[in-house]
Amino acid sequence: MSSSTNTTTHHTSTIGSIGAPSRRNTELALLVFAVAIPVFAYANVGLAINGSVPAGLLSYGLGLGLLAGVGHLVVRKFAPYADPLLLPLATLLNGLGLVVIWRLDQSKLLQSIHVAGGKATNQLLYTAMGIALFVMVLVFLKDHRTLQRYTYISMVAALFLLLLPLVPGLGLNVYGAKIWISVGGFTIQPGEFAKIVLAVFFAGYLMVKRDALALASRRFMGLYLPRGRDLGPILVVWAISILILVFETDLGTSLLFFGMFVIMLYVATERTSWIVFGLLMSAAGAVGVASFEPHVNMRVQAWLDPMGEYALSRKGVAGHSEQAMQALWAFGSGGTLGTGLGQGHSELIRFAANSDFILATFGEELGLAGIMAILLIYGLIVERGVRTALAARDPFGKLLAVGLSGAFALQVFVVAGGVMGLIPLTGMTMPFLAYGGSSVIANWALIGILIRISDTARRPAPSPAPNPDAEMTQVVRP
């Protein structure tokens, strides 16, 4: 965007401004494509499992198409200059998730253990709620800078959301991780919403404090060492993330929380040293906690030796699970091109096959080629978020866009890395793909905020205000 030209060779260059077109029609075309792909996948699953096109094809396709259409019309009306890719990419992931959840619903084994069965309908309902929240964000949040007013309220709200699962009687202990709450029969993962609220707080806070955090430092071995008192904020956030790890025993939330702060701190201050400090601190914290917290320690052991874990689980030792190894086998049996939709055996993962481990089903049935495409789609969403941050004109919008896309990227990394055995498993879910109301709803809100920021960022600059002096000016020519 800068107009630096190649002047050393004396090229003659022309700089002209390109007005950003609204690109809504591009978005519509991509959206049609993004709805057609899951419909194709749905038909494919039906043909593979039952030998016939599933009866719900039309209603399912219409349902997804309707939701996407509503989203598109609202964007057209309320955010006409928004990024054309965010909505189609999210729609595609959501649609593919629905198909695979439906596919796992068909499994007799999963039905018998009440993991699957009718979940796709629920997920479609959650998607509708997510789109409703997306619409509300776009309609009511006219300018993302209003969020800046709620910086410290956001901090309180985020801490409240993060602490909710620890409230006795409200929190649920689901297989060791305490990140759910139960309200009136519904289970909610407050951490999913906390990540958005936290991004608002970090953006507002860092926008004000970044100069203090960036400038006052000494240089040592190429690194800017911050002064002791400037380490305060990062130490506090680190301590809180460690507390989450100890009390909620969830590596994912802890990593997301701390990682997001480090990313935003780096973007706000442009100091690489924060990343180095962040990595060192999180490594030290994770190792320290894993050495004394039994649940975290068990996860780490299962990560280091999934086969041993599988053997223990086979012997019936309590507290062990074969799912990590089953997931790896699912990826392996998928090979490069996969077994085809509906033709894998990922129901062997049993518990959480359609939520935490849904990526394994994709890996088995679509193979490496499909997984790569899906990870690329996630990457494109993150790229659009970062691009929005680059284009945003106000520092708060920049930081917020980076924070949200950073949180999204971290979540994808934590889940995909956990399922594939790169890092220890966590209790988080793949955004949009996995079964789960909180995740889908919160991520649609996240996409809504990104679309709002990108609309502001890409809106053509208003024509220059007429100078009130210009009329009265007497021009005296020499």
Partner 1 sequence: MSELTLTVMRLGFLAVLWLFVIVAVQVIRSDLFGTRVTQRGSRRDSGRPQQAARQAAPPPQRQQPSGGRQRRGAPTKLVVSEGSLTGTTVALQGQTITLGRAHDSTIVLDDDYASSRHARIYPDRDGQWIVEDLGSTNGTYLDRTRLTTPTPIPPGAPIRIGKTVIELRK
d(CA 400, CA 199): 6
Residues from 46 through 85 that contact partner 1 (CB under 8 A): 47-48, 51, 84-85
Using the rule CB under 8 A, is 235 a contact of partner 1?
no
Residues in CB range of 436: below 8 A, 6 or more apart: 126, 189, 355, 429
Q: Pick between residue 91 and residue 323 the one whose CB is nearest to partner 1.
A: 91
Residue 240, φ and ψ in degrees, nearest 5: -65, -40
Other CB atoms closer than 10 Å to residue 236's CB: what's the count? 11
Other CB atoms closer than 10 Å to residue 90's CB: what's the count? 28
Residues in CB range of 137: below 8 A, 6 or more apart: 445, 448, 449, 452
Using the rule CB under 8 A, is 30 a contact of partner 1?
yes
Residue with tokens 């899951």: 38
Using the rule CB under 8 A, is 3 a contact of partner 1?
yes
Residue from 65, 191, 306, 370 binding partner 1 (CB under 8 A): 370
Using the rule CB under 8 A, is 369 a contact of partner 1?
yes
Distance of CA 249 to the CA centre of its chain: 21
Using the rule CB under 8 A, is 468 a contact of partner 1?
no
Residues from 89 through 128 that contact partner 1 (CB under 8 A): 89, 92
Q: How many residues bind partner 1 (CB under 8 A)?
A: 64
Question: Among 38-46, 200-208, 352-360, 397-405, which window interacts with partner 1 (CB under 8 A)?
Answer: 38-46
Using the rule CB under 8 A, is 88 a contact of partner 1?
yes
Using the rule CB under 8 A, is 26 a contact of partner 1?
yes
Q: Pick between residue 10 and residue 315 the one whose CB is nearest to partner 1.
A: 10
Q: Pick between residue 168 and residue 462 the one whose CB is nearest to partner 1.
A: 462
Sequential DSSP letters for 109-126: HHHHTTSSSSHHHHHHHH
Min. distance of Cβ 223 from partner 1 in angstroms? Answer: 25
d(CA 157, CA 60): 37
Residue from 70, 225, 380, 386 binding partner 1 (CB under 8 A): 380
Classify residue 95 by burial, with Cβ atoms within 10 Å: 0-12, 13-18, 19+: buried
Min. distance of Cβ 342 from partner 1 in angstroms? Answer: 9
Degrees, nearest 5: CA angle 63-68-73:
125
- Let me know: does 400 contact 453? Beta carbons within 8 Å: yes
Which positions from 413 to 452 touch partner 1 by CB under 8 A, shown as an x/- string?
Answer: ----------------------------------------
Min. distance of Cβ 362 from partner 1 in angstroms? Answer: 10
d(CA 99, CA 355): 13
Degrees, nearest 5: CA angle 339-344-349:
140
Using the rule CB under 8 A, is 14 a contact of partner 1?
yes
Binding site for partner 1 (CB under 8 A): 1-7, 9-20, 23, 26, 30, 33-34, 37, 40-41, 44, 47-48, 51, 84-85, 88-89, 92, 337-341, 343, 366-367, 369-370, 373-374, 376-377, 380, 383-384, 391, 458, 464, 466-467, 469-470, 473, 475, 477-478
